[in-house]
Every structure is written in structure tokens, then in C-alpha cells.
Amino acid sequence: MKTLLTSLLALVALTGFTHLPEIKTAQARPPQAAIDACAQKQEGQNCTATVAGRTEEGICRTPPGQRERACIPTRMTGQSGVRVLNRGPGPEQGQPGGQRSGRRHITVQSNGDLDLYPAIVPPITQSRVSVRVEGDCRIIAANGISEHNTGPFPNAGNPNRIAEQQHEFCVPANPQIASQVTPLGLGKFGVGLNGVPFDPGAAEFYLGDRRGGWRYEALSGAILLGLDANHAHVQPGGTYHYHGLPTLHLQGAGLVPGQHSPLIGWAADGFPIYALYGFGQNGVAVIQVTSSYRLRQGTRPTGANSPGGIYDGTFVSDYEYVEGLGTLDECNGRVMATPEFPEGTYAYYLTPEWPVIPRCYKGTPSDDFVNLGPGGRPLPR
């Protein structure tokens, strides 16, 4: 999946995170025009740069991990930030309940590049999270503020500003595998131990037609969403949420190759969430877990509401599940012992390959994770 691995290479340099699989070295630079604008200037001086056809005023700063100063647009948040791989304007429109209005997209192929903003903006306040068990309910209460830096919000792809939330999620304290899986749809999959939701779906559809079924994959790069180096951005109500690997959250949790993943969060059905590494079949050796999804072969159907073109990951439906292709099932999970559950449990894993964040539940999800649409009505799973 070029989309994700390419972006991971960039964010290694932007965040200093080195515990990603099969990634050894990487170089990521601000746009050359932003560097040129500060070539004859000192740190902190005003500057003007034209990037992707947009001329903006800024301040000369040296981004983390870089040696050259670059012109950082001051319009973003009043704090230092720099755009990476920005293809131009495309503001995300917001609606109450955290959902965007239907935009009429016609993109049918994408080159796999993500527009990632470096995570160099400190949290707006302290992250506050509490977890308690009451009866059959594990209650996670949080203000939704990450413990790590984020990208600059608002930005050219996302006009929303991070704000404190009053999250309170109840998940089953003793979850059970259900008789059939439940598709995720446009709801939150779960919540990190830092109180930030995992919400991989994008309410963006081909021709703006939700009923057509061709929903854009947020990590394909086809739609400019203003994601930062944590593969996260902000909903209109101020909710910061992850669409992909939460890079700095994994780093802070102590994720290390060769060791079982620490607990990362809880899914809406109550099962634990881990990332990248788990025990092998012998329950001792640690392996990098792998997805059982792959791109479909051939071309998409054509017609009035179908995009046509080759299956390249632009749309969620470009992927298919092949049982046994990887170590994980259709919900990116499996039954296995973990450090927290030595007797064994069903557990989900985040992976560098699609779906990255699982797209279905093996248990029964809590309604607390359903996203609301216009009029406060739940969006379909």
C-alpha cells in the first residue's frame, strides 16, 4: 500500500519515530519554495512564500529534524507549522455532529501520496483520561486532547480547530464474540488510551452519492483532508481523531519491534486494541502481524454512479478480504494470549497495510461510538 508506507517514511523524519516496521532511513523536506524564501533570512524573521500556487506570509523557522529554515505560514494557528506535499486548497466542509456536507468528487485514481502536516504543535491543554469498570461496563471518560503534538489546525485541508471534548464511552467489560461481524461504517471504531477516538472512515463519496457505495479511503490521498503526521485531523465540533496509525501515541506507549505491542486502546465492542506486533502461534515468539486484505484485480464497474478505473486503493471497496492471506481475520484481529490477557482474548491490531484501523467488529459494539448526522440521526454502520 504505497499510500501508507510512503507517508510513514515522511513522518519518521518529521516526528523522530523510528519504531515502524521495515523502515530504516527517510528524508522529508519542506517545499523548496518555502526553503528558498528563508535562504537569506535569520530564524524568526518574516517571510513570504508561494507554494502550490498559494502565496502566504510566514515566519522563518527550522522544522524538527531539518537543517534548513523554511517559511512557516502564520495563518495556520499562530504557531510554527509547515505543509508537506500540499496539492493546493480543498477545505473540508463541516456540519453539526462532526460530519461533512456531501461534496461532489470526481477523482477515480490516486497516486498514493498523503498530504501530511508535521506534528509540531503542542496540545492546547493537558490530556485527561479516566477508565473505570462499573458492572458490565468499562467507562472511558476523556477530554479528547492527545498527550502528543499534533499538526496545525486549521489548515488548508481541514478548517477546524481542536477543542476539548466531553467523551464518555461505555464498552463491554466482558466482551463476547458475536454470531456475525458488524461492519464499522462511519462510526468510531474505538478509543485510544489517551482518549482520542479511532475513526477511520471518511464521509466522502464519488459524485457525493452516499447510496452509490463508492466511499473514498481517507488514507489514499485522493481527497485533501488535512491529516497530520499522526494520520489524524479534526471534526467540525473540535474532535481530534485518528484515521490511521497514531504515530506519536504509539511512540509514547512504548511500541518497540521485537516486543509485543502495549495496549493501545479499546474497541467499541470491548475487545483490546494493539498495534503491529503480537505473539506468534507458539505464544512466545513475537511477530509482525499482517492484514489479510489486498487490492482487487482488474477494473471497477462503469456506469452512471460508478467510477470505473483500476482498483488502486482510492476507494474502500477497492480492497478485498482473502482468508489466510495474513495472520489476521476480516476484522484485523485474532484470538491469542496478550500480556494483559495471558489466558487469551480476541484482540484487534493496527497494521501498516490496509485496513490499518479495523473496519468491522467481532463483538457487539456500543452505541456510544455511533457518529451522528444531520438532525442528530445515527449514521449507518
Distance CA 60, CA 104 (A): 37
pLDDT over threshold 70, residue 63: no
Instruction: Return the minimum-mean-pLDDT range out of 33-37, 199-203, 272-276, 321-325.
Output: 33-37
pLDDT by residue (tens digit) across 116-147? 999 999 999 999 999 999 999 999 999 999 99
pLDDT over threshold 80, residue 150: yes
Instruction: Return the minimum-mean-pLDDT range out of 77-91, 237-251, 272-286.
Output: 77-91
Amino acid at 175: P
pTM (2 decimals)?
0.76
Distance CA 112, CA 314 (A): 8
102: its cell numbers = 456531501
Rg (CA), the chain: 20
Distance CA 158, CA 15 (A): 21
Distance CA 202, CA 258 (A): 33
Instruction: Give the SS3 label for residue 133.
Output: strand
pLDDT by residue (tens digit) across 164-176? 999 999 999 999 9
Instruction: Give the SS3 label for residue 318.
Output: helix
Long-range contacts from 55-59, C-beta under 8 angstroms, 24+ separation: 58/34
Q: What CA–CA distances, in Å, run from 97 to 123, 187, 235, 236?
A: 23, 12, 9, 8
Amino acid at 76: M
pLDDT over threshold 80, residue 219: yes
How long, in residues, is the chain?
A: 381
pLDDT band at 65 (very low <50, low <70, confident <90, very high): low
Q: CB neighbours (10 Å) of residue 357?
A: 29
